[in-house]
């Protein structure tokens, strides 16, 4: 099934410049409906309002981190099936294992390039 380019994507990062980078790279991939949040709790609030189809989140944020957000999402019956990609500078294998155990769909380490972002999205959402 083709990926719907009109899907609603939530990007979460405490660095505004990173949000802008992600937004621009996603736009270049023709994804236009992008919501932003600057930490896990704000993201969770937006997710619970509905309509989000896909989450791309940083890990290291306050007060709610990306891994806490992921656990909240996976524990919520309405949200638990959402595809969730972690994009983070945390590159230790313990982090990757913890994210996998928490139910992450894929994991991108910063700094990343557009090709990596696209390939990980394809692996989660299917080809586009």
Partner 1 sequence: MSTDNHVDQEIKKELALLRQTHGDVVKVSEISAVVASIMATMKGDLTASDLELYNELEALASYIRDAKMDIAALRPDEVRDQYIPTAADELDAIVQATEIATNSIMDATEEIEAVMATLDGDQAEKLMNATTNIYEACGFQDITGQRITKVVKALKDIEDKIEGLVTAFGSEIEKIKASSPVPDAKPENAEITDADLLDGPQLEGDATSQAEIDALLASFD
Using CB under 8 A as the binding rule, whether residue 17 contacts partner 1 is answered as yes
Q: Is the distance from CB of 52 to CB of 10 less than 8 angstroms?
A: yes
The stretches of the chain forming alpha helices (DSSP H) are 16-28, 40-48, 66-75, 93-102, 114-125
| β partners of residue 56 | 11, 85
Cβ-based nearer residue to partner 1, 108 or 124? 108
Stretch that binds partner 1, among 39-47, 71-79, 108-116, 119-127 (CB under 8 A): 108-116
* Shortest distance (Å) from residue 75 CB to partner 1: 28
For partner 1, what does the binding mask look like between residues 23 and 62, x meaning CB under 8 A?
A: -xx--x-------------------------------x--
Among 32, 89, 97, 122, binds partner 1 (CB under 8 A): 89
Q: Please give the backbone phi and psi of residue 111, each rounded to the nearest 5 degrees, phi first.
A: -75, 145
The stretches of 52-92 forming alpha helices (DSSP H) are 66-75
């Amino acid at each position: 099934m083709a990926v719907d380019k009109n899907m609603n994507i939530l990007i979460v990062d405490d660095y505004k410049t990173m949000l802008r980078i992600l937004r621009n790279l996603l736009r270049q991939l023709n994804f236009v409906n992008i919501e932003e949040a600057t930490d896990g709790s704000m993201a969770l609030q937006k997710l619970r309002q509905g309509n989000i189809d896909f989450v791309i989140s940083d890990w290291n944020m306050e007060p709610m981190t990306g891994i806490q957000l992921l656990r909240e999402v996976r524990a919520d019956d309405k949200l638990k099936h959402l595809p969730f990609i972690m994009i983070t500078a945390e590159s230790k294998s313990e982090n990757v294992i913890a994210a996998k155990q928490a139910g992450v769909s894929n994991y991108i380490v910063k700094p990343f390039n557009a090709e990596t972002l696209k390939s990980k999205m394809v692996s989660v959402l299917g080809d586009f």
